[in-house]
Each structure stands twice: as structure tokens, then as C-alpha cells.
Amino acid sequence: MAKEINANEFKEIVLNSNKPVLVDFFATWCGPCRMLAPVLDELAQDAKGEFEVYKIDVDKENGLAREFGVMSIPTIIAFKGGKQVNKHIGYATKDQLKKLVQ
């Protein structure tokens, strides 16, 4: 299951991770975000330690969303070695999301 994190946890968990990380910027009121949630949860289970999946609520963490240029949701950003390497805006399939971290 994709775990929701906050801005305080972001640096420690995402930027300092030695594994690739997918971060879903979402909002609870967003229809496409709700459609994407089960896909992300399934992807997190399938990852088997190869990469991590986290979620950030843009209504709670709007500063972090601004920092990464999130203008539309859902926005999924892939990080490797603490750096942004890929970005996808909108709904995506599990395979499309996997490609972001490969």
C-alpha cells in the first residue's frame, strides 16, 4: 500500500532513499486521484523492495507541491538518488508507472 507522507518526512524518506521512489501528489476530492489510488497500492505491493511508493496530499502540503511544479493532479514524480527523473500528470496504468522508475 502506498503510504501518505508529509513535507517533514519527504527529505528523509524520498530524497535520502537509495532506492527509486514514486511520489503521487493527490487530493482527496480529486476523481482521477481516487481512480489511481488502487493502481498505486497494487504497484507498491508488486515493487518487492525494488522501489518505494508514497503519496502527498497537496491540500496539506501545498508548499511541497509548488516546489515540484505540481499544477494538476494527480501528478506522479519519480526520484532516483534524491533527484527528480520523471514526471507524469494524470491517470496512468501500473505499467506506465513502473516505467517511470526503471
Say which of 33, 65, 92, 100 is annotated catalytic.
33
Look at residues 3, 9, 16 and name the one whose alpha carbon lies nearest to residue 64: 9
What are 76's strand-pairing partners? 24, 88
Q: Annotated catalytic, 19?
A: no
Q: Which of 27, 30, 47, 89 is catalytic?
A: 30
Question: Catalytic: 33?
Answer: yes
Report the chain's terminal Cα–Cα distance, integer Å. 20
Q: Which residues are designated catalytic?
A: 30, 33
